[in-house]
């Protein structure tokens, strides 16, 4: 990131003030060095998309590890616990990264739309103004749909993480074959939740592609 912009952004945060105003000023600083809000939005949607793809792999890996535990037929349960705990922690980290990326998408999108709305008042030609208003509403509609889809993914990660944590802690406290038997009933529920989550991620990833294309063709 450009060092002067980092310093100015940090100063804005220290000074406090309206969050929206701080966001707008931050992105305005980028525009002064030739980086438009629309370009930043595309980059951040792509980043969120890639993060969800990484999370897909991580949650699938956690499910695979849990399935291996359920099929335990001898060996060191302590090793299984350590592996499953590592998968849970990695999944939690992936979920946090997904949430962070979605927040970043939202911040620049809101700033872009505020600017667009404000600049509409500067257009005197009625036809051009009407067309720009139409494009704004259409872009906002597509964005709202994408954001809902990404937030749905965010929400769907929590039940999976909660279930994984429950099972990891239960196993930690009961490192014996009976504990594995007690967890077998959890596998189908976790698998169902993970499959649903992966499907929602696919939907959000696909919508991201469509949204990026719409921004690049307007």
Whether the predicted pLDDT of 93 surpasses 70: yes
| pLDDT score, position 74 | 65
| pLDDT score, position 72 | 77
Give, in degrees to the nearest 5, the angle at Cα 78 between 168 and 164: 15
Question: Percent of the chain, pLDDT > 70?
Answer: 90
- Measure the N-to-C terminal CA separation of the chain; round to a whole number of Å: 27
Rama region for 200: left / alpha / beta (φ>0; ψ in -120 to 50; rest): alpha
User: How far, in whole angstroms, is CA 111 from its chain's centroid?
Assistant: 19
| pLDDT score, position 34 | 86
pTM of the model: 0.86
Sequence spans of domains, the chain: 36-217
| pLDDT score, position 9 | 55
Give pLDDT tens digits for 8-56. Answer: 555 545 444 577 888 878 888 888 888 899 999 999 999 999 999 999 9
Taking the C-alpha atoms of residue 41 and residue 35, their distance in angstroms, rounded to an integer, is: 11
| pLDDT score, position 181 | 85
Taking the C-alpha atoms of residue 40 and residue 31, their distance in angstroms, rounded to an integer, is: 10
| pLDDT score, position 4 | 53
Residues 6+ away with beta carbon under 8 Å from 9 = 26, 29
* Among 10-14, 67-71, 90-94, 126-130, the least confident range: 10-14
Q: What average pLDDT is seen over the chain?
A: 89
Extract long-range pairs of 143-150: CB within 8 Å, 24+ residues apart.
143/109, 143/113, 143/211, 145/207, 146/45, 146/204, 146/207, 146/208, 146/211, 147/102, 147/105, 147/106, 147/109, 149/200, 149/203, 149/204, 149/207, 150/48, 150/52, 150/102, 150/105, 150/204
* Among 72-81, 98-107, 152-161, the least confident range: 72-81
| pLDDT score, position 15 | 45
Whether the predicted pLDDT of 206 surpasses 80: yes
The confidence band for 87, taking pLDDT boundaries of 50, 70 and 90, is: very high
Taking the C-alpha atoms of residue 151 and residue 192, their distance in angstroms, rounded to an integer, is: 19
């Amino acid at each position: 990131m450009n060092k002067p912009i980092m310093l100015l952004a940090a100063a804005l945060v220290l000074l406090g003030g309206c969050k929206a105003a701080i966001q707008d000023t931050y992105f305005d600083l980028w525009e002064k060095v030739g980086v438009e809000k629309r370009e930043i939005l595309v980059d951040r949607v792509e980043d969120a998309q890639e993060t969800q793809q990484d999370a897909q792999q991580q949650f699938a890996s956690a499910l695979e590890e849990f399935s291996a535990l359920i099929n335990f037929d001898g060996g060191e349960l302590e090793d299984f616990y350590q592996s499953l705990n590592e998968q849970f922690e990695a999944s939690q980290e992936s979920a946090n990264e997904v949430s962070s990326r979605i927040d970043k998408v939202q911040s620049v999108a809101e700033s872009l739309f505020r600017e667009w709305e404000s600049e509409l008042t500067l257009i005197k030609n009625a036809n051009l103004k009407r067309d720009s208003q139409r494009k704004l509403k259409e872009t906002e509609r597509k964005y709202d749909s994408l954001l809902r889809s990404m937030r749905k993914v965010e929400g769907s990660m929590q039940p999976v993480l909660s279930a994984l944590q429950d099972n990891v802690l239960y196993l930690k406290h009961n490192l014996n074959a009976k504990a594995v038997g007690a967890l077998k009933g959890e596998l189908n529920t976790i698998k169902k939740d993970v499959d649903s989550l992966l499907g929602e991620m696919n939907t959000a990833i696909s919508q991201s592609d469509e949204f990026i294309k719409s921004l690049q063709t307007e």
